[in-house]
Each structure stands twice: as C-alpha cells, then as structure tokens.
Amino acid sequence: MTKGAIFDLDGTLLYTLEDLKDSVNYALSQFGYKMRTLDEIRNFVGNGVGLLIERSIPDGADNPDFSECLRCFKEHYEKNMYNKTKLFAGIDEMLTSLKSHGYKIGVVSNKFDLAVKELCKKYFAEKIEIAIGESNGVRKKPAPDSVLKVMKILGCTPEKTYYIGDSEVDIETAKNAGLKCISVSWGYKDRDFLKKHGAKIIVDKPQEILDILK
C-alpha cells in the first residue's frame, strides 16, 4: 500500500518570510501605507495571500485600494520570491530519505498556486510529485479538498498518510482530511502556540519526521 507524506510549504519546507514581507511592503508603499515588520507578517501568514494583504492594509478588504494592492503584491512576489527564501536545514536530506523509503510526497499550501508550483520546481525538483496552491473555485486549508485531491493522485489512503505543517491551519487541515498530523517547531508558530491549538506530535528537526514515518 502506498505511503504518503503531504507537506505545507511556507514555514515547513521553506523559509519564505522575508520575501513575503518585502513584497507586502512594496505593495503597501505604492499606496502610501505604513510598512509592516517581520513579526507582523509572521502573524499574518497561513491563510492565503488575500488574507495576508487584508491583514496588512488599513481597513482590510474594505479598503478601496485592497484589490490593487493584492495585485501589486502578486506581481512583485512572482519576480522576487527567490531573493531570500531558502530551505530549512535538513529538509533536503529528509525528503530524499522519505523517497528512498517508498513515500509519495506532495505539497498543499494556501500560497497562490503559481508561486507554489514554481518554488517547488526550483527547490525540490523530482522529490515532490505534486504541489497544489490556492486557486479559484477550490476551498483553501483548513478545508481538506486539496489534500484529498493530492492523496488521490498519489494513490495514498488516510491510514498510510501524514500531513506535516507549522501552524494551527495545518492541524485543522489534517483533522478535516482524517490524517495524522506532525507539527514542526522551526516554522512561523512556536511550540507553545502549536500545543495550545491541538498539536499532538511536535518535532524540532526534520530528522524526527523520518524517525516517526520510518
């Protein structure tokens, strides 16, 4: 029976926070709004770029500049998402080992689909078999839709599949999809936050994911 490991992207496999901050602040600057700090962006991410901009711009989605600011962010991020982004230590080795142990690997993210696919192609190439981001007409996490789609494509069952992420959204996603969840402490939410939001398994290093899945 096929074994599956489905990962969140931002804060789990890749450190993306600074590029997100730079693109948010570029977009905000085009409309004369104040810049956001790295800690603010850390608290705003996890629910898709629409909510990222909604949380960053004064008055949120009610702001008349909201749609244009979101468009500006996306255009800037598409051209600048590799500037400071990097793999967390040990991720490449962990994915390689999972592949060698027969795991099918997928990514499900609330980042917009184009960016998810481009980032995975650049940083993971053949290691990840399918990557899905936010797109029109598909409910984003914590809805299980994209995770269930990836499982079907990979040929995995809930009993043999883990979902791995760094946030409360990922914990809820795994629950809604009927999967076991592994929460990582090196991402954008700390261990206490994860415990408070129902994390049952928390790892501090990618190697620990291997220990659990093997």
Q: What is the pLDDT of residues 55-92, one digit of tens each?
A: 999 999 999 999 999 999 999 999 999 999 999 999 99
Q: pLDDT for 155-202, tens place per residue? A: 999 999 999 999 999 999 999 999 999 999 999 999 999 999 999 999
Confidence tier at 137 by pLDDT (50, 70, 90): confident
Residues 123, 201: one domain? yes
| Listed residues 30, 47, 80: the one ending a domain | 80
Residue 82: per-residue pLDDT = 97
Residues 101, 114: one domain? yes
Around Cβ 51, how many Cβ atoms within 10 Å? 16
Average pLDDT over residues 10-17: 97
Average pLDDT over residues 6-12: 97
| Listed residues 80, 100, 117: the one ending a domain | 80
Residue 40: per-residue pLDDT = 97
Kindly name the residue from 8, 22, 65, 170 that is annotated as catalytic.
8
| Listed residues 55, 80, 105: the one ending a domain | 80
Of the listed ranges 43-47, 135-139, 141-145, the one predicted with least confidence:
135-139
Q: Structurally, how many domains does the chain consist of?
A: 2
Q: Is 192 a catalytic residue?
A: no
Residue 102: per-residue pLDDT = 94
Residues 91, 197: one domain? yes
Residues 54, 117: one domain? no
Written as one string, the DSSP assignment of the chain is: --EEEEE--BTTTEE-HHHHHHHHHHHHHTTTPPP--HHHHHHH-SS-HHHHHHHHSTTGGGSTTHHHHHHHHHHHHHHHTTSS-EEPTTHHHHHHHHHHTTEEEEEEEEEEHHHHHHHHHHHTGGG-SEEEEE-TTSPPTTSSHHHHHHHHHHT--GGGEEEEESSHHHHHHHHHHT-EEEEETTSSS-HHHHHHTT-S-EESSHHHHHHHH-
Residues 93, 70: one domain? no
- Beta-carbon contacts of 153 under 8 Å, excluding residues fewer than 6 positions away, are 106, 129, 130
Residues 100, 76: one domain? no
- CATH number for the domain spanning 29: value is 1.10.150
Residues 157, 54: one domain? no
Residues 117, 194: one domain? yes
Structure pTM? 0.94
Residues 187, 165: one domain? yes
Domain range holding 40?
A: 17-80
Residues 101, 30: one domain? no
CA–CA gap between residue 166 and residue 163 (Å, rounded): 10
Q: Is it the case that residue 135 has pLDDT exceeding 90?
A: no
Q: Is it the case that residue 47 has pLDDT exceeding 80?
A: yes
Work out the mean pLDDT of the chain and round it to a whole number. 96
* Nearest residue to 104 (alpha-carbon basis) of 119, 126, 122, 133: 126
Residue 148: burial class (beta carbons within 10 Å; 0-12, 13-18, 19+): middle
Residue 43: per-residue pLDDT = 92
Residues 120, 54: one domain? no
Residues 195, 91: one domain? yes
